[in-house]
Structure 1
Amino acid sequence: MTARRRTRLAALLAACALASGCGLESSFALPFEVEPGSIRPVPGLAGVGIAVGSKDFTENQVLGYIAEVALDAAGAEVRDMTNIHGSNSARQALISGDVDLSWDYTGTGWISYLGNTDPIPEEKAQYEAVRDADLARNGLRWLDYSAVNNTYAFAVTESYARTHDLRTTSDMVELIRRDPAQGVFCLETEFASRNDGFPGVAATYGFDPAATQVKTFGTGTIYTATSNGLCNFGEVFTTDGRITALDLVVLEDDKKFFPQYNAAVVLRQRFHEAHPEVAEVLAPVVAALDNDTIRALNAEVDVDGRDPAAVARDWMAREGFVTLPAG
């Protein structure tokens, strides 16, 4: 880490402390060692200092550690800057150069960072719009997006899906048209009333929300409420580990109502130009990730209580990207 970066980081950490903590926390070292697997040492990255950041929720921490493990195996000198509290703080750390790369989400970039109000339904088009705009305005490079799409959806129990042959949101709507008594929903209070929430879903898919029964819950309790039969359809985030743990089935948003939130690695363009090998190392790792994979990894942390760094390391080893030291 350069003296300039250390000075800037120290100042930012001090400011965060005065403001009750914006979330930049770091051990400045990986908590374990890995050895090369299919990721081989890259001469151009040997000894290059790379600070990897993440936001402070499980999935983003796991993704951050996945990037750290990959770059460590490639020979970089990785600095662990995961667990930055809040999207804005994580974004600012990247822009300022205190972090060299982190993972973010296309919908977050388009709506929260770039200030757009209308999402783009098709995920490739959404990615390309964010990629081009963020590069032009902020000098940030979005690498190719992954198949991880952490957006909204409705979920049902496996038995309910089998009984009613449900695969898509259109299937759900057809069922509640035939049998209105089936239209029992567990929703967050805000989602139940927002135009980009339940009323918007109803308008897009063509059903009357007033003809359904809505039960409101906090985000964390919707999953168990749906699993326990307090409702037939629960509002969920598509990559939440509790979906796997509770044997829920996510219904496809076949009319593409909800914004696309595909995960991608973001880094400053100047850093990308100086170290193009980073994108090459991470490309096969990004390609190996999808919703089922990240959902299972999230469950290892949130349900099984494992450390996100260990979860990331073990997945990278299972996939053959790295190997673990003997003994």
Structure 2
Amino acid sequence: MNRSFRILTLLIIVSFLAACTNLGAGGKQVTIGGKNFTEQYLLSQMTVFMLRERGFDVDEMNNLGSTVVRKALVNKQIDLMWEYTGTALVTYMGKEPIADPGKAFEKVKELDEKRGIKWMNMSEVNNTYCFVMDKKEAKKYGIRSISDLAAYVRKHPGELKMATDAEFANRPDGLKGVEKRYDFNFGAEQVKQLETGLTYTALASGEVDVAMGFSTDAAIEKYDLLILKDDKHFFPPYYAAVSIHEDVYQKYPEVEEVTQKLADRLDSATMRKLNYRVDVEGKSVSVVAHDWLVKNGLIEK
């Protein structure tokens, strides 16, 4: 047997074994994409566990920036991901924010349908901006909503201090927009601009009275903070939902059922607790995702 023939035979055997492996797994293969922060790692990992239990061979492309992972989805380098309605609508599609969560979801569905991307299974995880306060301090001032905060600031100008990152402080849909919608103003001397994340420590240490944050951040759980109700619905909804290529969905429609079970059990409070276990307690994403899925009966032990 000559060398070329032996190599050809070996390649045929390898190909045959690979085909058998795929058949053994049902031949169902998908690639899940994810962004570069804890919540996204958890959403991706939970989806991986659930799909693998249903016989899928799952690859992951995680730790990507928002625009990078979106481009990967559009270019079919990934098949599906958990994306946020507000990010898609404003950042990717260049549209104005829509305050109503259901209408925002329907709009991104409509716009992405033209690209062959299907949106489904919107969860109650809303990773949007928020204002937070220490619970005891908020109770002392009689503040539970942004309207309450605005009323207090108008009556006591210069008393309360606010911590924010530079982006939120200067963008029209950030602090300036909130002040305009709720008719109040902190004043330049009352606003402390910090790196993202340090707003919470400034609040916890008593340097400031109010801080901006994101509603699913682990630090809200860590410091037991109160999220002020956005009673005038200024902040646009950033609800996590599944976006998947239409052809992948047509090939594997069961993905909708699997991810629906996950979406039905997730909300912002649950996500904060899961993020807390990773970011504060230092547990691995895989362990946190697996334990929560087992506890909620979504996968076997």
2:65 matched residue in structure 1: 86
Number of residue pairs aligned between Structure 1 and Structure 2:
277
Runs of 4+ with deviation above 6 angstroms: none
Map 1:39-118 → 2, pairs under 5 A: 46-83=26-63, 85-116=64-95, 118=96
| Residues in 2 aligned to 1:271 and 1:236: alpha-carbon distance in whole angstroms | 36
Root-mean-square deviation (CA, aligned residues, Å) is 1.6
Unaligned runs of 5+ in 2: 1-24
Map 1:1-327 → 2, pairs under 5 A: 46-83=26-63, 85-116=64-95, 118-136=96-114, 138-210=115-187, 213-324=190-301
| Residues in 1 aligned to 2:261 and 2:229: alpha-carbon distance in whole angstroms | 26
Contact 1:185/1:212 (<8 A) preserved: no
- One-letter amino acid of the counterpart of residue 70, structure 1: M
- 1:175 Cα shift? 1.9
Contact 2:160/2:186 (<8 A) preserved: no
| Residues in 1 aligned to 2:26 and 2:262: alpha-carbon distance in whole angstroms | 19
- 1:211 Cα shift? 7.7
Contact 1:185/1:214 (<8 A) preserved: yes
Contact 2:218/2:276 (<8 A) preserved: yes
> What SS is found at the alignment partner of 1:199?
helix
- One-letter amino acid of the counterpart of residue 273, structure 2: A
| Residues in 1 aligned to 2:165 and 2:112: alpha-carbon distance in whole angstroms | 31
| Residues in 1 aligned to 2:284 and 2:113: alpha-carbon distance in whole angstroms | 34
| Residues in 1 aligned to 2:72 and 2:185: alpha-carbon distance in whole angstroms | 45
TM-score normalised by length of structure 1: 0.81
Contact 2:203/2:211 (<8 A) preserved: yes
1:27 matched residue in structure 2: none
- 1:98 Cα shift? 2.2
- One-letter amino acid of the counterpart of residue 297, structure 1: L
Contact 2:153/2:185 (<8 A) preserved: no
Q: Among all aligned residue pairs of Structure 1 and Structure 2, give the percentage whose two residues are the same amino acid.
A: 37
| Residues in 1 aligned to 2:74 and 2:296: alpha-carbon distance in whole angstroms | 32
- 1:163 Cα shift? 1.8
> What SS is found at the alignment partner of 2:126?
coil
| Residues in 2 aligned to 1:255 and 1:212: alpha-carbon distance in whole angstroms | 26
2:17 matched residue in structure 1: none
TM-score normalised by length of structure 2: 0.88
Larger radius of gyration: 2
